[in-house]
Amino acid sequence: MAKQLTKIISIVLLALLESSLCALSQSQVTYPVQPVVIAAEMPKSVGIFGMVWLHVTVEDGLVVDVHAIRGLPDLVSAATANVKTWRMAEQRRAEFDVTYRYIQRTRQGCDQDYNDTLILDLPSYVEVATAFDRGFIYHCDPAMMQPAEIPFNVKELSGSVTCRNCSGKTNTSQIRVEAQLQGTPGSPIHTVMTGPDGRFRFNLPNGKYFVRTSDVDYMSATASVNVDPGAPATSRVELVVDKVGDSRRDPGATVDGAALPTYPETARASEIQGDVLIAVKTDGERVLNAQPISGPRELAAAAIENVKSWKFWSNDSHELSVTYRYRLTHPCGANDSEVVIANFPSEIEVRGCR
């Protein structure tokens, strides 16, 4: 009798255990760890370099909280502002970490391309590669691109700014002057303002510097200056600026803002891939006209819609060709997020799942 009772109790306990495990497994059914980003503003460079780690909370398709884990304050501010533009496909609440990496893109000799290069593997990784010397227009000397050693001693560098063709503005006071070590991406940018007489003064570590002016009314004047420990106590540089006019060099079409490109859902479902070539005309600030030249029509509409969201830094009108490359590169699974690689203004690649 006791053996039968023990057997019955064992069977009951086993049944209860299986029922508990089943209920537990059902309660642990979870959504994907990371939500899918369906819309976002493209991130922008901020002139300094480093990495930012953010902890993001989303709910009802929106970013509801952003906590900075680590990073320089200016970079944290820029990354936080960008991540708050994200819109999610799901309405559920979720938390995840995202890394923003701000780096300096090496210029090829003296090219005039000031566009950023972006890599977006949302929602986990964003990379912004900033064009060297973006925003400054000058006559470049390839010899000035040679590496320089990081110095330790400090000496004074003084100079003055004069205007060669001034007609309205008679003095060169309150013009921003910057100095940065040559050949050391990410090195600090030292900044001063000219005085009433157009003069300025830096206290700089020894080394070879780019010294340049920055003023909305004038072309940037740039000089290469060697702050040498063997030189006199004070080094000097003279910068001559020209009023912006017909002699200004055109830096090309520089994209300063854009919406996030996405893979068209109907094209993805039909596994349509390909390149879309678009002829674009701008007025210097926005796209006036965009016409498809070649490519699958199922992809062309999405490409044209995205290119029309572009905003430009230059005030000069341009005509350019833009290629959108749509690729289905990975199997769809728990996380169907797309990868975007933007080499503005010539090429945009969108990688989706199939």
DSSP state of 42: P
Distance CA 229, CA 157 (A): 12
8 Å CB contact between 223 and 158: no
Q: Supply the CATH number for residue 42's domain.
A: 3.30.2420.10
pLDDT of 182 reads: 72
Q: Is 275 found in the same domain as 229?
A: no
Total residues found in the chain within this entry: 354
Evaluate whether residue 21 is within a structural domain. yes
What residue numbers bound the domain in which 99 lies?
32-135
Q: Supply the CATH number for residue 165's domain.
A: 2.60.40.10
Distance CA 331, CA 336 (A): 8
SS3 string, 79-111, reads: HHHHHCCCEECCCCCEEEEEEEEEEEECCCCCC
Q: Is 153 found in the same domain as 62?
A: no
Distance CA 181, CA 104 (A): 14
Q: Is 61 found in the same domain as 128?
A: yes
Q: Is 129 found in the same domain as 146?
A: no
pLDDT of 149 reads: 37
**pLDDT tens for each residue of the chain, 354 residues long:** 655 656 666 665 556 556 555 554 444 434 445 688 888 888 887 767 788 999 999 999 999 999 999 888 888 999 999 999 999 888 889 899 999 988 876 554 445 556 778 888 888 899 988 765 443 333 333 433 333 333 345 677 888 888 876 655 556 777 778 787 776 655 566 777 787 778 888 777 777 887 877 665 666 677 778 877 665 545 677 777 766 543 333 456 788 889 999 999 999 999 999 999 999 999 888 999 999 988 899 999 999 999 999 988 766 788 888 999 999 987 887 566 788 989 888 889 999 888
DSSP 253-311: --EEE-BPP---HHHHHTT--EEEEEEEEE-SSBEEEEEEEES-HHHHHHHHHHHTT-E
Structure tokens at 241: 């600026």
Q: From 67, 102, 135, give the residue that closes a domain.
A: 135
* φ/ψ (deg, to 5) at 177: -125, 130
Distance CA 258, CA 311 (A): 6
Q: From 89, 110, 135, give the residue that closes a domain.
A: 135
**Residue pointed to by tokens 């921003």:** 176
Distance CA 233, CA 223 (A): 19
pLDDT of 238 reads: 77
pLDDT of 232 reads: 56
pLDDT of 67 reads: 94
Question: pLDDT tens digit string along 179-198?
Answer: 877 766 555 667 777 877 78
Q: Is 45 found in the same domain as 19?
A: no
Measured over the CA atoms of residue 315, residue 317, residue 318 and residue 319, the dihedral's sign is positive
pLDDT of 215 reads: 65
Average pLDDT across the chain, whole number: 75
pLDDT of 193 reads: 78
